Structure 1
Amino acid sequence: MSSIEALYIFDEHNTPLLEQTYTGRPPSGSTLLPLYLAHTAPRPSLIYLPNTNPPTLLYSIIQDQLLFLCPSSNDTDPLQILEFLHRVTDALEDFLGGPLLASKIEGHYDVVAQLLGEMVDGGVVSCTEPNALKDVVDAPNFMKTLLGGVGLPSATPSSLTPSNTPFSMGNRPSPRLGPNGGAPAATSSPVPWRRANVRHTSNEMYVDIVETLHVTLSPSGRPLAALANGMIAFTAKISGVPDLLLQLGCPGGIANAVSLPTFHPCVRLNRWKDRPGELSFVPPDGRFTLAGYEVDLLGPAALDSFSTNTPPNAAPKLNIPATVSVLTSLGRTGSDFEVRLQLNPRFKGKASSPLPSSTSSFGGRGGLGKSLGSTAFGGSASTGTTAAPAMDGMVIHIPLPASVKSVVELKTGRGSGEAVFQPADSRVRWAINSREIATLMAGDRGTGAGVLTTLRGTIVGHDNYDDGDAPDTSLSLSSNTYDYDDDPSSSYQSSTSAAPTKPKDEGNASKKNKVLMPSCATVSFTVKGWLPSGIKVESLNVDQKNSKGLGAGVQPYKGVKYLCVSRKGVETRC
């Protein structure tokens, strides 16, 4: 088992904020910090320091410009210690509020010391669940006022005991002893990750499924890779100790679609193994990440489609909201490029209304999905549902070589947003807000081909049009030209043959501008009411028999939202 020997926290100026020693005699923070900074950035999360006494493995993470260091002189599991550091930052954000600032830690040393003391006991990680920590650690005064103002439950003694809860854990932390080592304190929750004596006036359950899309397309538009990374965010505001069952569905079956699933400790793994798609759990109080997963959108037979024996029309097809293609070396001198954006007509959405629209059979509501969708890339002009998903503001990035000086004559189609060249990042940013997307979608004639809009520009290199610069003649052996036939009627010198021939200066410029062309383009967008994997919530039920403290006949409100996010996730190579 991994041993946590000490924890050191430094601010953005590498000034020590806190040192917590758990076991042994590890090197001090003043000794470890110079050895850590001696490595060039970006520094790895695990560094071996053989010159310390004893030789030490140094684990590190950076959160909100604060540096967290954790030394270990034993053979440990690296992932466990790194996960512990992330749990520490999560707990500090829960108690002190985010982002983490040095002033917050300095102003609440008593709270931070209690947290670090509860999370590790003698070098062994004991409790990292925020709900359980809130039962034994007093929040700062301003947090108590805030929680009381919004009606959240306070840490009061619980009437629940381990004997009357339906949930049991094999590896449960030992109960907290009362004064003078007496009976266990009544404030300890029977479920390690849930607050004790939870009470809510309105019982609500919200499910937000968010998937991040990553697609790579070849110049011909053929998909090379397509992955969707999903996260199921659950918000539970239910009194007592509820026992919930969430049923997920997917075309072809969850077991065939989902790979690399990860679950919150509250999920009963045996139930998922026996019946894939069923999540049975006792939730923590508040919002938490219930599960994560990955989906290969091309399927297991994707590699077979790249075989030379497979016809091109047998390649896997993707039904994604938008694709982009880039045409380079256009114009007389090959200095122009054109970006073509194809919008899928399926994602028109519907006109926005003052009332919230339903996203599923459970009813719509504002939650995680709404916040991500409305702030990711701009305001929304349409409301997305599962029947009519809608795209939010779209951004296309066209990265350019560092030798590009500027891009002139940037022109977009009518109603197709605005494009600017950003010299600091050496890229063109083409932004189309939600209203412009809705206008473009309204022009679709229902042919199914989608909506096409374009962006065209001219690239200027650093060595073009500069005074005093001579043309590049390093590869020219002679500046003289030779005529091999003086007869103008000759086939080699006839006007009909010479017409399509480019002048020498234009030919050199075309070759010179070719290296300035973009090599790819990426698309960013959000879609409300749609998931690339096709996963959906089929049911969400409360097991009244095994639940405690909810009350007879209480039917919690249920809400579900779906959201797809692509942050430079759809990339087309040139």
Structure 2
Amino acid sequence: MISAVYLINLKGEILIYRAYRDDVSRAAADAFRMQVLAAKEFRSPVQVFEKASFFHIRSSNVYLVAATRENVNASMAFQFLFALVEVFKGYFGGAFEEEAVRENFPLVYELLDEVMDFGYPQSCSVDLLKTFIMQEGQQLDPGRALVAASLAPAQVTGAVSWRREGIKYRKNEVFLDVVENVNLLMSSKGTVLKSDVTGEIVMKTYLSGMPECKFGLNDKLMMQGEGKKGGSGSIEMEDVSFHQCVKLGKFDSDKAVTFIPPDGEFVLMKYRVSDNINLPFKVSPIVKELGRTRLEINVKVKAQYSSVTGLNVIVRIPLPPNTAKVTTTAAAGKAKYEPETSELVWRMRKFPGDTEYALSGEVEMSARIEDKKPWSRPPISMEFQVPMLAASGLHVRFLKIYEKSNYNTIKWVRYISKNGQYLNRI
């Protein structure tokens, strides 16, 4: 049970104070402000003053503080504070700062009244809150004609709190994005030391009524749930987490992801794959030291995909901090030395599949007597984006939509592979 919520700026000034109970004194709150926020460094996010516990997080230039005298679950308190940040961002256009709080005092107080009742957290769903707390001047997607439901939905205390009734679209569409971040650590000899993919399935739904969606992937468990053996085309997903709209009971029984989607954009599920990763790029670096003041660099990058084109590919080659001059020749793109990070940055806007590009160059270094430590040779890192490629091998097998009016739905599926920590040791 939370007794009060404070929004405090970096100077220690209270911007907003909302008391839900009267068991936390003003003196305790002042002690927290003076002793914690006034300090330059503080380690623990939980502090106790006058037998009251203060849980605090920071978002941009605002501290969010929850105070209580009860022995509450700390994870619950922090989860509520982080959810509160997302609520404010949803109303303030993605930015939650002191300026936004000062310009929207009435709205902030109204939100604090709705998200908590007598110290007990209630719904923190932005979509649900926007059905009865409407910010003035809020605009819908101009390309879509959405007929809003009545202000107070019947689902406020029901099971489907993330979707309101009465939604109507002239054009019913579903956009599904499989976004994967590829992580790699490769040795200087070309041996893969560690690789995995962390991915998420992002959906944008513009559907009328109260549809039920059924979603299928080539995951081993899902395919076995349908009586199919996991063949060479199946993958094994780990650390899977779902949006609250997913019916976990049906997933446990028939291994199908069934859900009533929220309106608009949301993350349906997150996952990790650590076996049989299709690495988009292979980097072959050779760095030779020619004496104490010269380096010779040769880096080859090969695309290990076909039929698609990589976009905005960046190769960051670390150089010694005493680098004075760099001369390079690149088969594609442009290479430039950036002294502030001591890196040679090689940029290519497009990287066609089954293509190999090479970069060569010479580095001249200034001889510094004080530099006695040898160069540590940090790894080469990459940034990239490859559309229509799923590095994990994940494949959307089907997406079915059921609604009592039986309307036609246009479905769009897209795959995107991006870099996570993509490192190659020199």
> In structure 1, what is the equivalent of residue 342 of structure 2?
426
Q: In 1, distance between residues paired with 2:377 and 2:315?
A: 13
Matches within 5 A, 1:430-469: 430-434=346-350, 437-438=351-352, 451-461=356-366, 463-464=367-368
- The answer to whether 1:573 aligns with 2:397 is no
> In structure 1, what is the equivalent of residue 314 of structure 2?
395
Deviation at 1:529, TM superposition (A): 0.4
Q: Which amino acid is the alignment partner of residue 413 of structure 2?
A: V
CA 1:213–1:71 in structure 2 vs 1: closer, same or farther (change >3 Å)? farther
Q: In 2, distance between residues paired with 1:5 and 1:226?
A: 46
CA 1:23–1:294 in structure 2 vs 1: closer, same or farther (change >3 Å)? farther
Once the two structures are superposed, what CA deviation does each residue of 1:414-451 show, in whole Å capped at 9, x if it has no partner?
3242222232x3333222222xx34xx6xx6xxxxx51
Deviation at 1:408, TM superposition (A): 1.3
Q: Which amino acid is the alignment partner of residue 269 of structure 2?
A: A
Q: In 2, distance between residues paired with 1:337 and 1:75?
A: 63
> In structure 1, what is the equivalent of residue 110 of structure 2?
114
Deviation at 1:250, TM superposition (A): 4.3
> In structure 2, what is the equivalent of residue 240 of structure 1?
209
| Residue ranges of structure 2 left out of the alignment (5+ in a row) | 221-229
In the alignment, is the contact (CA less than 8 A) between 1:335 and 1:514 conserved in 2?
Answer: no
Matches within 5 A, 1:191-230: 191-230=160-199
CA 1:564–1:192 in structure 2 vs 1: closer, same or farther (change >3 Å)? same
- The answer to whether 1:257 aligns with 2:251 is no
In the alignment, is the contact (CA less than 8 A) between 2:12 and 2:34 conserved in 1?
Answer: no
TM-score, normalised by the number of residues in structure 2: 0.86
Deviation at 1:88, TM superposition (A): 1.2
Picking from 75, 82, 87, the partner of 1:79 is: 75
CA 1:455–1:200 in structure 2 vs 1: closer, same or farther (change >3 Å)? same
> In structure 1, what is the equivalent of residue 250 of structure 2?
271
Q: CA RMSD in A?
A: 2.9
Once the two structures are superposed, what CA deviation does each residue of 1:55-88 show, in whole Å capped at 9, x if it has no partner?
52423132x4332222344333333222222221
Q: In 1, distance between residues paired with 2:196 and 2:376?
A: 28
In the alignment, is the contact (CA less than 8 A) between 2:12 and 2:37 conserved in 1?
Answer: no
- Structure richer in helix, relative to its length: 1
| Residue ranges of structure 1 left out of the alignment (5+ in a row) | 163-172, 176-189, 299-317, 348-387, 445-449, 465-470, 473-511
Q: Which amino acid is the alignment partner of residue 156 of structure 1?
A: S
In the alignment, is the contact (CA less than 8 A) between 1:148 and 1:154 conserved in 2?
Answer: no
> In structure 2, what is the equivalent of residue 297 of structure 1?
275
Q: Which amino acid is the alignment partner of residue 272 of structure 1?
A: F
Matches within 5 A, 1:105-504: 105-137=101-133, 139-143=134-138, 145-146=139-140, 151-156=145-150, 174=157, 191-250=160-219, 252=230, 257-276=236-255, 278-297=256-275, 319-333=278-292, 335-347=294-306, 388-400=307-319, 404-423=321-340, 425-434=341-350, 437-438=351-352, 451-461=356-366, 463-464=367-368
- Structure richer in strand, relative to its length: 2
Deviation at 1:233, TM superposition (A): 0.9
- The answer to whether 1:520 aligns with 2:379 is yes
Q: Which amino acid is the alignment partner of residue 35 of structure 1?
A: Q
Deviation at 1:38, TM superposition (A): 5.5
> In structure 1, what is the equivalent of residue 91 of structure 2?
95
SS at 2:210 equivalent: coil
Q: Which amino acid is the alignment partner of residue 339 of structure 2?
A: Q
Q: Which amino acid is the alignment partner of residue 341 of structure 1?
A: K
CA 1:400–1:39 in structure 2 vs 1: closer, same or farther (change >3 Å)? farther
- The answer to whether 1:555 aligns with 2:408 is yes
- The answer to whether 1:54 aligns with 2:65 is no
> In structure 2, what is the equivalent of residue 23 of structure 1?
21
In the alignment, is the contact (CA less than 8 A) between 1:260 and 1:294 conserved in 2?
Answer: yes
Deviation at 1:271, TM superposition (A): 1.8
Once the two structures are superposed, what CA deviation does each residue of 1:465-496 show, in whole Å capped at 9, x if it has no partner?
xxxxxx68xxxxxxxxxxxxxxxxxxxxxxxx
Q: In 1, distance between residues paired with 2:337 and 2:200?
A: 34
Deviation at 1:239, TM superposition (A): 1.1
Which structure has the bigger radius of gyration? 1
Once the two structures are superposed, what CA deviation does each residue of 1:488-525 show, in whole Å capped at 9, x if it has no partner?
xxxxxxxxxxxxxxxxxxxxxxxx78813532111110
CA 1:74–1:219 in structure 2 vs 1: closer, same or farther (change >3 Å)? farther
Q: In 2, distance between residues paired with 1:146 and 1:15?
A: 35
Deviation at 1:147, TM superposition (A): 6.1
SS at 1:135 equivalent: coil
> In structure 2, what is the equivalent of residue 529 of structure 1?
388
CA 1:400–1:418 in structure 2 vs 1: closer, same or farther (change >3 Å)? closer
Q: In 2, distance between residues paired with 1:457 and 1:342?
A: 18
